[in-house]
Every structure is written in structure tokens, then in C-alpha cells.
Structure 1
Amino acid sequence: MAESNAVFRAIDSMLINLNSIAFRGRMSRKAYWRFFPFGIALPIAAFFVAFVVDATYLARVLAAVLFAIPLLSANFRRLQDTGENGNEALMPWGYFAMSACTFFCAYQLFYNAYSVFGLERSPLPYGNLVGDLLFGLASLCLVALALVLFIRFLMQFSVTTGQLLLPSQPGPNEYGPNPNEVPQ
């Protein structure tokens, strides 16, 4: 019974206070980890609902990103509660986006290079060897860059997750009063 009350209180604080989309203030560690499962489930559910209704891939991603805003806001407020800059919550996702875009460019270059650059394929057996080697080498370099960016994402993600686990900074800080202390 107490566990279900905690779930309802987490949903209540998220919806009624509308603090779930505010990027200012502080959030206690306990409140953050109560909210976290819902914050993760929202974008995943939005993506799958968009998939079920047969939305375009872009619409699915946009729905997931839109429903990820409350979790991103909670990350901001939690980092601010530890005394860190809330903008650090965005850093891992910037590396992830760069990695995904670089990999997509490598894929397009490797499989569609001739049509992208307006070149025609040679009818000779090895007539495209130089072009294939150049486009393949360029694609390989882009894939290597995408892997480096993805590793950087994982590193930054682990640092940010570690910061989310830190206790609250005692007393008020530049982001507001400590949510764990009773106001007088």
C-alpha cells in the first residue's frame, strides 16, 4: 500500500505541480529516483505508440524527444541540487546525436555515393574500383569518428550518472533552497 502511494505521489507531483517541465530550481535525490522510471517510460511509450499508429520515423523520434523533456528537466534540477551546472545533462546527448549523424553520413556515403555526387557507375568489371575504394575509405573514417563520438557519449553519460547519485548540497545554493531541508 505504501509503495502504491509513493507511485501516486510521484505522478501527482509531476502532473499537478507542472514542475516536470521547469528547468530551474532543485530536486532531491529521493524525488528524482521516484520520478526516473516514469521519465524513462514516457519517451519509450511515445515512440511505440507512434510506431503502432504507423507514423513516420521522424514523427516517432520527435514524439520520443518531446516526451523526454520532463526527464531532461529532472536531470537539470537534480544536477543543480548537487551544485553542478544543469547544462551538463545535455552533454552526453550532444555526443550521441553527433555520433548518430556521423554514422548516418557514413552509411549514405558508402551505399549512395554515386547518386549523391551525380556520378555514373562504369559498366566495366573494375571500372569503379578507385571510386569504390575512395568512398569506402571515407566511409570507414566516418565510422571510426562515429565510434569515437559514441565512446565519448558513454564516458560523459557515466560521469553525469555519477553526478546524479551525489547527495544534495547542504543549505541553499545559487539554484535555490535545499529541497531536503524544512523551510522555516
Structure 2
Amino acid sequence: MSIPRTIFQELVGRLNFRGRTTRSNFWLFAPFGLLLPVSAYPFSKRFLNVDYPSIGVLMLTFAVFVPLLASATRRLQDTGEPGHSVLLPFTPIAYFFVSMMFWGLSFDTLLGGIPILIAYLLVALYWLIFPIVLLVSFLWIGPLVGQLILPSQPGPNKYGPNLQEAPQ
């Protein structure tokens, strides 16, 4: 299969998170999915004369990121691993947004009028836990890439038939 056809197939036709994808399809699509948003920012800065990422760059990033996540999920499922483990490196982002949602609420309404010392202890606990969450998520990137490199699990698995084997 040609590279443009593989990229088009992974970008447009495969927005589902179920099933399996081959190692070659994923690794042909992954550089495109990672480099397109990175290269779009300098392009927009130079030709659109903006100092901030435009909404078009953000939409392009999201439009490529979702198929990349779907492709990585299917690739992990092709090796027999659960696909949701691809989301673990994004834990600090979720942790940040959830914590900011709680900090946006006042401590009085959130915890029923707690003393100020306990509020300061909660803030200190947040800043003690956040580096641990960040470290664990960064340490997970190496094993995740290692799982994406593994060959396909032979035969059918619980996620579907092997795409490299001929149907019998």
C-alpha cells in the first residue's frame, strides 16, 4: 500500500477505536500525525502574521490528533494489549484540568467552610502529587513506544482477526 493511501486511510476512514491495525500502517501514519501540527504553527506564524496559534492550527491539531489516538489504540490492540493505555501519558493534563475545576470553586462552597490551614495543606498536597503524576506519565512513554513496535499477535485475538493473515 502506498504512503499517501495509508495516510488517507488512517486519517479519514479509520476514526474508530475498535479493531486492529498493522504495524506498517501505524508507523507510516504516526510521523505525519505528529509533524503536521508542528509544521503548521510556523507556517501560520509566517504567512498569517499571528503571534499565537490560530484557531485553524488548533483545529488541524485536533483533526489529526484524534485519528492518531485511534490508530495507536488499534495498534496496541493488534499486539494484544488494551488500547486505553495510550491515554496514560495524558494523565497530567487531565489532572491539571480537574484540579483547576476544583480550585475554581471556592473552598467554602466545596468543602463546607474548612479552616484556612486545611486549605493550605490541600494546596501543598496538590503540588506534592503533581510531580509524581508527571514523572509516572513520562516514564510510561518508553514502554508505550515499545508496545507500539512489537509485532502483531498471531491469529485472532479479542480485538479481531489479524489483518496480515489471509482469511481461511
Same fold (TM over 0.5): yes
Q: What's the secondary structure of 1:21's corresponding residue?
A: coil
Report the counterpart of residue 122 of structure 1 in structure 2. none
Report the counterpart of residue 33 of structure 2 in structure 1. 39
Q: Alignment length, in residue pairs?
A: 153
Shift of 1:31: 2.0
- Once residues 59 and 97 of structure 2 are traced to their aligned partners in structure 1, the CA distance between those partners, rounded to angstroms, is 16
Shift of 1:89: 1.3
What's the CA shift string for 1:65-90, capped at 9, x where partnerless? 33211211110110110111212212
Report the counterpart of residue 141 of structure 2 in structure 1. 157
| Unmatched runs of 5 consecutive residues or more in structure 1 | 1-5, 110-116, 118-130
- Higher gyration radius (CA): 1
Pick one of 93, 100, 119 that aligns with 1:97.
93
Choose 27-36 or 137-146, whichever is displaced more: 137-146
- Once residues 54 and 143 of structure 2 are traced to their aligned partners in structure 1, the CA distance between those partners, rounded to angstroms, is 30
Percent identity, please: 31
Shift of 1:30: 2.1
The code of the aligned residue for 2:3 comes to A
1:1-184 pair list within 5 angstroms:
9-16=2-9, 18-48=12-42, 53=48, 54=50, 59=55, 61=58, 63-93=60-90, 95-98=91-94, 100-101=96-97, 141-184=125-168
User: What is the CA RMSD across the aligned residues, in angstroms?
Assistant: 3.6
What's the CA shift string for 1:135-165, capped at 9, x where partnerless? 9987665443322121021122223222212
CA contact (8 A) 1:14 1:20 kept: no
CA contact (8 A) 2:89 2:141 kept: yes
What's the CA shift string for 1:88-115, capped at 9, x where partnerless? 212221x131355489x5xxx9xxxxxx
Q: What's the secondary structure of 2:5's corresponding residue?
A: helix
| Unmatched runs of 5 consecutive residues or more in structure 2 | 107-115
Distance change (3 Å), C-alpha of 1:25 and 1:19: farther
CA contact (8 A) 2:155 2:162 kept: yes
Q: What TM-score comes out, normalization by structure 1 length?
A: 0.63
Q: What's the secondary structure of 1:150's corresponding residue?
A: helix
